[in-house]
Structure 1
């Protein structure tokens, strides 16, 4: 789940089954009581019908938490990162970064850093399309050291300069879950 609408949809699925969640957050639903196996099967079917899935195993939960933290950081906190990404993840997950990095790479076939960069570039695309901020304002808001750094990273990931991307506007942004 990556937005408030996602949380609303997931909450509605639970409630439609008579399961009232205590809280629904990005990537996590807290329930007062455990659910029975037949409810879990029905819940899984209902969640998949609206594009979601249940995550039960520890590895998948950890990967999901990493993704959720990164998406939340980029999308909602304007990348207000006071430390480096590895320290940020350690502070939130209380696990060694090397362990997290190895697990993420093994399961996702990409590094945490590349995933983070792809999230930032998608945010840059979004902000370019809105055409409300200058490139230097975008670079600053996403914690890039300079416009040049943002431009180089943008071109490396997309194959286009930010200016060229802005001019063609026909390139569709990717869905967050497709990154």
Structure 2
């Protein structure tokens, strides 16, 4: 088994695209998830180079640097928690990250801030706000329901954080800001 770390995988379509790239390069995998591929065998340098080029063409990067791998794993855990999980986590994010990555949270936090230029908490807030934007655009839930589903203690807390992050109130965004959504890999 050989693990590869892939930057910019944020959704199920990304997983499908990476899977197709692996198949085109003749590489078999045991498992693919956001940011991580487990190959059934170790690829040679020629295969890795070809895969890297193919992934780059699709907007992904193979990560060789261990620090970048950790950063990408942090991002993928947060994206999964915010965008792909219906349940509110039982643990705090710091505990989830520490347990998942088997590293002290202060190390992870310092590394993330150093490399990304923002804190893990700010990255989490940005992801949550993008999720709220998506829910506002779909217009299927009330603001109270959106606040609850995204772990906010109240509508006012959500509205305050939304305005601080976007410069707009949720109501104003809903009426005019649809084009202001960001792609998840650009956050």
TM-score interval (norm. to shorter): over 0.9
Q: Post-superposition shift, 1:23?
A: 1.2
Aligned counterparts, 1:144-163, within 5 A: 144-163=152-171
Normalised TM-score (structure 1)? 0.96
Unaligned runs of 5+ in 2: 1-8
The 4+ residue runs of structure 1 with deviation greater than 2 A are 169-172
RMSD of aligned residue pairs (Cα, Å): 1.1
Distance in 2 separating the partners of 1:79 and 1:60? 28
Normalised TM-score (structure 2)? 0.92
Distance in 2 separating the partners of 1:24 and 1:160? 37
Bigger relative contact order, structure 1 or 2 (CA pairs below 8 A, ≥6 apart): 2
Distance in 1 separating the partners of 2:87 and 2:153? 12
How many correspondences in the alignment?
179
Retained in 2: the 8 A contact 1:71–1:119? Answer: yes
Aligned counterparts, 1:118-129, within 5 A: 118-129=126-137
Aligned counterparts, 1:6-21, within 5 A: 6-21=14-29
CA deviations 1:70-127 (Å, max 9, x no partner) are 0000001146122222112112112111000000001101100000000000000000
